Amino acid sequence: MNTRRMSVRKFGLLAGFVAACLAVASHADTVRVGSKNFTEQCIVAEIYAQALENAGIDARTRTNLGATLIAHAALLNGDIDLYPEYTGTAMAHVVKGDLSGSAEQTYKTVKDYYEKNLHLTLLQPTHIDNGYAILVLPETAAKYKLKTLSDLGPASRNLSFGAEGSFADRKDGLPGMAHLVGYA
């Protein structure tokens, strides 16, 4: 087996181990690792780059590219070779598919779509769940007797809610929560 093939194999295994990501075959001497524009993504991109470097593959980062569709466009345009992505985000913003399935169903749908329509490879996901959770202080939970999402309905007029930007639009965010607690 030649060294280049071995390097590409190591690259695939390392990137797949770190997190689910998108990748295209790179024929360049340097793998360009991109990220979206928030801290977690920048850190994961740096982890990818360091893992690649430790495997003997030259890697450079291009972090803070922007939101999903900007990073995705950079991948499609060949400006980067890979970037970490969440399968739910890819499903919502690129595939524009249904988010109600299991993690395995979402991964398969996104992977199939990317391969068939975009000629991109979605690597194996990590076993990290980045799902939404609703948190309240213990005192707030006790005061309003909050144990389930359904308990939020009656207490909601007395509470303030904060979330990241896409929570308001995603079916697995506010619209799903509103439906669950009877406001949709």
Q: What DSSP assignment string belongs to 60-71?
A: EEE----SHHHH
Range of the domain at 158: 138-180
Q: How confident is the model at residue 54, as a pLDDT?
A: 92
CATH label of the domain that carries residue 8? 3.40.190.10
Q: How confident is the model at residue 28, as a pLDDT?
A: 58
In this structure, the answer to whether residues 78 and 157 fall within a common structural domain is no
Q: Which of 122, 152, 169 is the last residue of a domain?
A: 122
The torsion region of residue 122 among left (phi > 0), alpha (psi -120 to 50) and beta comes to: beta
The distance of Cα 10 from the centroid of its chain, to the nearest Å, equals 22
Q: How confident is the model at residue 148, as a pLDDT?
A: 86
Alpha-carbon separation of residue 118 from 20, 24, 66, 110, 159 (angstroms): 17, 10, 20, 11, 44
In this structure, the answer to whether residues 26 and 78 fall within a common structural domain is yes
Residue 45 lies in a domain: yes
- Look at the pTM and tell me if it is higher than 0.85: no
- 184 residues of the chain, pLDDT tens digit each: 333 333 333 333 333 333 334 444 445 589 999 999 988 889 989 998 999 999 999 999 999 999 999 999 999 999 999 999 988 889 988 999 988 788 889 899 999 999 999 999 998 887 776 667 788 999 999 999 999 878 888 898 999 988 877 788 777 778 877 777 676 6
Q: Which of 122, 151, 172 is the last residue of a domain?
A: 122
Residue 162 lies in a domain: yes
Tell me the CB-side half-sphere exposure of residue 170, using CA atoms within 13 A.
Answer: 18
Q: How confident is the model at residue 7, as a pLDDT?
A: 33
Question: Cα angle vertex 13, ends 11, 16, to 5°?
Answer: 105
